[in-house]
Amino acid sequence: MTEQPPRVLLADDQTLVRTGFRMILSADGIDVVAEATNGVEAVEAVRRTRPDVVLMDIRMPEMDGLEATRRILAVPQALNSVRAGETSFPGEPRVIILTTFDLDRYVYAALSAGASGFLLKDVTPEHLASAVRTVRAGDALLAPAITRRLVQRFARHGGDTAALHRDLASLTPRELEVLGLLARGLSNAELATRLHLAEATVKTHVARILAKLGLRDRVQAVIVAYETGLVSAGEREAVQQSTEQT
């Protein structure tokens, strides 16, 4: 059975940005199902078209991308409550935040609100298409160093953000160890090497961590690790340098 192409909604107030992204994604076999010029339109378009992934600009008129992200991720539950006779709704869309600035102060708030990662608007065509497929598959955009820097900078200083709070007591000692290393920027392959485990075993640990803590993906896991004090910025830097030297 052939896998269906990702269904994407583009939300950006700049026509040229939307046009460029549509051309890039379409050329890679990705289906752009709708476009929106502001957050209000984006929320409505999600209700209407049910995309797999939303590429969301932050700074838009009428409603910004942060508030739109919060509302979009509440859409499935809202739709369930009004559709008599329906007991389930297809998986909620995943949101990728688009920004011009690599340390936009709103990006961390968007991640806390449930976004699955973010991209700079000067992203390469290959990276854009890959990001959509990665997020649609259930992973998160944590690979670029810029994302880890952003989480490090804002996790302890997000005063006005929608902070995530989770009780880590449900995790086993091994799962706590995996979460701590994940938050310090290690990939599954690096985790496997460091812990002397098979990569498949690491993936199982990560999946169980997400399930136990009720998290959407690795982005939220990293945020929780910082906000609960499981790791600190200094620890992350030390582990990253150690990894780079091996």
What does the pLDDT read at residue 237? Answer: 45
Mean pLDDT of the 214-238 span: 71
- Mean pLDDT of all residues in 20-41: 96
Could you list the beta-strand ranges (E) of 87-223.
94-99, 118-120
Q: How confident is the model at residue 91 (pLDDT cuts 50, 70, 90)?
A: low
Structure tokens at 19: 């046009």
d(CA 114, CA 220): 7
- Tokens linked to 46: 């999600």
With a pLDDT cut of 70, the percent of the chain lying above it is 72
Amino acid at the residue 128? L
Q: Is 115 helix (H, G, I), strand (E, B) or coil?
A: coil
- Which residues have a Cβ under 8 Å from the Cβ of 78 and sit 6 or more positions away? none
pTM above 0.85, yes or no: no
Residues 6+ apart with CB under 8 A from 131: 96, 117, 119, 123, 141
Whether the predicted pLDDT of 143 surpasses 70:
no
pLDDT of residue 103: 55
Tell me the pLDDT of the chain averaged across its residues.
77
CATH 1.10.10.10 domain span(s) along the chain: 168-245
- Is the domain covering 168-245 a CATH 1.10.10.10 domain? yes
Residue 144 is predicted with a pLDDT of 46
Assign 95 a pLDDT band (cuts: 50, 70, 90).
Answer: very high
pLDDT, tens digit (0-9, with 9 covering 90-100), for 196-219: 999 899 989 999 998 998 887 777
- For the domain spanning 7-154, the CATH number is 3.40.50.2300
Q: What's the average model confidence in pLDDT over 136-159?
A: 58
Task: Give residues with Cβ within 8 angstroms of 115, minimum separation 6.
Answer: 56, 69, 94, 95, 96, 97, 219
Q: Which of 61-70, 81-90, 141-150 has the lowest mean pLDDT?
A: 81-90
What residues contact residue 3 under an 8 Å CB cut-off, 6+ apart?
A: none
Which regions of the chain carry the CATH code 3.40.50.2300?
7-154
Specify whether the CB–CB gap between 110 and 118 falls below 8 A: yes
Average pLDDT over residues 180-197: 86
- How far is Cα 171 from Cα 160, in angstroms, rounded to an integer? 28
Mean pLDDT of 63-80: 74
